[in-house]
Amino acid sequence: MISRTSFPRAAPPSSPPAPSEVTREMPRGASPPAAASRIELGDVTPHNIKQLKRLNQVIFPVSYNDKFYKDVLEVGELAKLAYFNDIAVGAVCCRVDHSQNQKRLYIMTLGCLAPYRRLGIGTKMLNHVLNICEKDGTFDNIYLHVQISNESAIDFYRKFGFEIIETKKNYYKRIEPADAHVLQKNLKAPCLGQNADVQKTDN
């Protein structure tokens, strides 16, 4: 997504094309075969961190510094490379965020190379993240930033129960439009303690 998260990407990146070890050359207008395809997620390690960097350069219109990649190596299951028939075609990177008196999961990046979109790869990555939150059981919500023009990404997240809760002006420094929506999915029901007490009194 064009944002801290870009699935799918709203505008073509200005970066050079992906190197051959990241994805194979495909004929113009061709789509990868869906039949007998295999989508897998793999760990991000010091040995393949360069693949993640190359993917991010192609997928996203923003650059990530060395600290970003250093932090990614320390988050364990919260960072994954996505493989389509053993070819690295996407990635998801998250971090735990303690803010607003809540434990939140922040999706820093989630993206897939353009020829491999609409094949279920983004869904596979997002479901992985949601499953982590469900198994943990202590997260209040999961959120991310999406460029306001990236309607396909907004629609994608809405299908999973995310809602726009805020719009941040001038969130991006070197891309237009610079504003970003904050999309959030609540994982815990609001406290109903007070309502329960009222009902108890009425009874």
Residue numbers annotated as active site: 106, 145
Q: Which of 11, 12, 23, 19 is nearest to 121 (CA)?
A: 23
Residue 57 contacts by C-beta under 8 Å, 6 or more apart in sequence?
13, 15, 16, 18, 63
Closest among 138, 149, 145 to 4, alpha carbons compared: 145
The SS3 call for residue 131 is helix
Reported for 173-177, long-range contacts at CB under 8 A and 24+ positions apart, including other chains, are: 174/62, 175/2, 175/61, 175/62, 175/147, 177/147, 177/148, 177/149
What type of residue sits at position 141? N
